[in-house]
Amino acid sequence: MVDTVILWLRRDLRLADNPALSRALSGAGRLVPLYIHCPAEEGRWRAGAASRWWLHHSLAALDRAFRERGSRLLIARGEDSLTELRRIATACGATRICWARRYEPATRATDARTELALRADGLRCDSVEGNLLFEPWDLATEANGPYRVFSAYWRRAVTRLTLPVIEPAPTALPPAPSDLGALSVDELGLLPRVRWDTGLAHAWTPGEDGAQARASAFIDGPLATYAAKRDRPGVLGTSRLSPHLHFGEIGPRQLVRMIADRGLVLDEGPAEPYVRELGWREFAYHLIHHFPHTTDEPLDERFAAFPWREDETLLAAWQRGRTGIPLIDAGLRELWKTGWMHNRVRMAAASLLTKNLRQPWQAGARWFWDTLVDADLASNTLGWQWTAGCGADAAPYFRIFNPVRQGERFDPTGDYVRRWCPELARLPARFIHQPWAAPAGVLTDAGIRLGSDYPQPIVDLAASRREALAAWETIKNQA
DNA sequence: TGCTATTTTAA
DNA sequence: TAAAATAGC
């Protein structure tokens, strides 16, 4: 009598170094790789359109990888995962189910509820560590509490960093049953009906092979100059691995191993600033585990009283990249076109929305959620709360980015702005980040009429900065 | 992972 | 005169 094991894949869409796959294969006779599409279970944070596009292609790639090894990926859809797992376990006679843990509030609740019910059914459940270097509860402060400050968290984490042993992808897998009423990836309807996704297809290769290729290219290339170039949105200086990491097409353990195998140390030298960015991802999961309400509510409770001013017109101008502030518009257009935005520009764009325009950070988080291919609830929550000033940030002052200054510092040639705001292409570098300050003759020569070819700025940066600081003053001394 | 006003330094 | 350093939020 051989065991039949269901491998419940969720956000670990790879074959190499996949702990749930390894666990499922140990002692299994038959393996049933399964993806279940249950958007209703993700509650308010079900995948947005860009994320669904990525998921479609990642599932298709994973199915191909399974088929190359003699297996296949089964796909189901339903109102809840438990019903589908029960149906398929019964149909194929499975006695055991393996999966990698998830950590968001809704997915955690689903997994806990599902595990309880499956165990009551008499099925064995093996949940293994998710796609992180540290489980979110692994690290604690001296007082045995959660960290709220990244530097303290990471200082501690680095002392615990070890070099993982990576399990290669299996070269052959046992055949999977083909008679369980499984759907094709296409039938999930994840792709957009209106074909707005050509820019995404041009920018990305979802799936494990694409993740591996990008990781190698990054580690053998831009990693060496990461410290100097990562903040330049006009330069290909970052890893652009975030969507691959989100869907678990590659894991941070694999990246750490690849870096070490190139002879680099993790906590100093050229690799250190990149490994630190992986640390921010870990910290985001630490925070969402310990403070699950922060997906929707500020970590800093004083911000319940912050005077946001909700304005659909301002929000819409920001979303569409029509604020009249070039760096911000470039970023939001890059996002719309490619499903991704350079992190430096994310910070500047989020600062403009939450501080200068004083729109609630949740509105920006929601827009990013719908448009980013790397939309990740832990990282998105941390990023927006950090920029809004209501999250885990050790700075004692109210940080407000000046998008002109950010542009001049990090896009000094203006090439990034020119790429995404072509109507400004002929403006000289001196004025590219503040066209409103250019003399009339310069604008004429560049073929720009402000207010028609390109918007006048929708906000006075200096005045709105003062107002935001005043708003901060009204809440900062609360108990 | 900031900004700005002010002071200091260098040419 | 302006770049660089510093203070303070």
Question: What pLDDT, on the 0 to 100 scale, is given for residue A2?
Answer: 77
* Stretch (H or E) spanning A36: strand A30-37
Quote the CA–CA distance of A474 and A300 in Å, as a whole number: 14
The residues of chain A that CATH labels 1.10.579.10 are: 301-473
Q: What angle do CA A101, A105, A109 make, to 5 degrees?
A: 65
A286-313 pLDDT, tens digit per residue, is 999 999 999 999 999 999 999 999 999 9
% of chain A exceeding 90 in pLDDT? 96
- DSSP of A156-179, one letter per residue? HHHHH---PPPPPPPS--PPPPS-
Nucleotides on strand B lying under 7 Å from protein C-beta: 1-4
The residues of chain A that CATH labels 1.25.40.80 are 131-166+210-290
What is residue A1's predicted lDDT score, i.e. its pLDDT? 58
- Domain A4-130, CATH 3.30.1380.10 — does that match? no
Helix spans in A93-241 (H): 105-120, 150-160, 198-203, 208-220, 226-229
- Whether residue A239 is annotated as binding a ligand: the answer is yes
Q: Do residues A372 and A403 make contact, with C-beta atoms less than 8 angstroms apart?
A: no
The whole-number pLDDT of residue A180 equals 84
Nucleotide C9 C1' to residue A471 CA (A)? 14
Q: What's the mean pLDDT in A49-55?
A: 98
Span A461-470, average pLDDT = 96
The closest nt to A395, taking CA to C1', is B2
> What are residue A175's phi and psi, to 5 degrees?
-65, 145
Distance CA A401, CA A458 (A): 16
A282 noted as active-site residue: no
Q: Express each pLDDT in A447-463 by its tens digit.
A: 999 999 999 999 999 99
- Residue A472: which nucleotide is closest by CA–C1'? C9
* A242 within 8 A of A376, measured Cβ to Cβ: yes
- To which residue do tokens 């950090």 refer? A386
Q: Are strands A30-37 and A124-128 parallel, antiparallel or unpaired?
A: unpaired
DSSP-derived pairing of the beta strands A96-100 and A4-9: parallel
Q: What is the C-alpha to C-alpha distance for residues A36 and A15, in angstroms, rounded to an integer? A: 18
pLDDT at A393: 87
A375 is in an annotated binding site: yes
Task: Give the CATH superfamily of A301-473.
Answer: DNA Cyclobutane Dipyrimidine Photolyase, subunit A, domain 3 (1.10.579.10)
**Percent over 70 (pLDDT), chain A:** 100
CATH 3.40.50.620 location in chain A: 4-130
CA of A265 to C1' of B6 (A): 42
Nucleotide B1's nearest residue (CA vs C1') is A344
Angle at A331 between CA A326 and CA A337, to 5 degrees: 120
The model's pLDDT over A171-183, given as tens digits with 9 standing for 90+, comes to: 999 999 887 889 9
pLDDT tens digit sequence for A413-451: 999 999 999 999 999 999 999 999 999 999 999 999 999
Residues with CB under 7 A from strand C: A 396-397, 469
Torsions phi, psi of A80, nearest 5?
-150, 150
Residues with CB under 7 A from strand B: A 150, 277, 280, 343-344, 347, 395, 397, 399-402, 405-406, 409, 461-462, 465
Per-residue confidence band for A16, with pLDDT thresholds at 50, 70 and 90: very high
Mean pLDDT of chain A: 97
**Tokens encoding A329:** 């518009």
pLDDT at residue A27, as a whole number: 80
Class of domain A131-166+210-290: mainly alpha
Question: Tell me: the pLDDT tens digits for A208-250?
Answer: 999 999 999 999 999 999 999 999 999 999 999 999 999 999 9
Q: Is A415 annotated as a binding residue?
A: no
| Half-sphere exposure (Cβ direction) of A478: Cα atoms closer than 13 Å | 13
Q: DSSP 3-state helix, strand, coil percentages of chain A (rounded to 5)?
A: 55, 5, 40
Q: How does DSSP assign A343-370, residue by residue?
A: HHHHHHHHHIIIIIS---HHHHHHHHHH
Q: Is A361 a catalytic residue?
A: yes
- State the average pLDDT over residues A350-371: 98
Residue A402 in this model has a pLDDT that exceeds 90: yes
Task: Please check whether residue A475 is in contact with residue A303, taking contact to mean a CB–CB distance below 8 angstroms.
Answer: yes
pLDDT of residue A129 exceeding 70, the answer is: yes
Give the closest residue to A36 by CA, choosing from A91, A77, A97.
A77
Q: Is A280 a catalytic residue?
A: yes
Q: For residue A24, is pLDDT > 90? A: yes
Residue A467 reports pLDDT greater than 80: yes
Longest dimension (CA), chain A: 84
Q: What digits encode the pLDDT tens for the residues A80-99?
A: 999 999 999 999 999 999 99
* A207: Cβ contacts below 8 Å, ≥ 6 apart: A13, A57, A58, A60, A61, A62, A64, A65, A249
Question: In degrees rounded to 5, what are phi and psi of residue A100?
Answer: -95, 140
Give the bridge partners for A125, in sequence order.
A97
Question: Which residues, including other chains, have CB under 8 Å from residue A427's CB and lie 6 or more apart?
Answer: A414, A435, A438, A442, A443, A446, A448
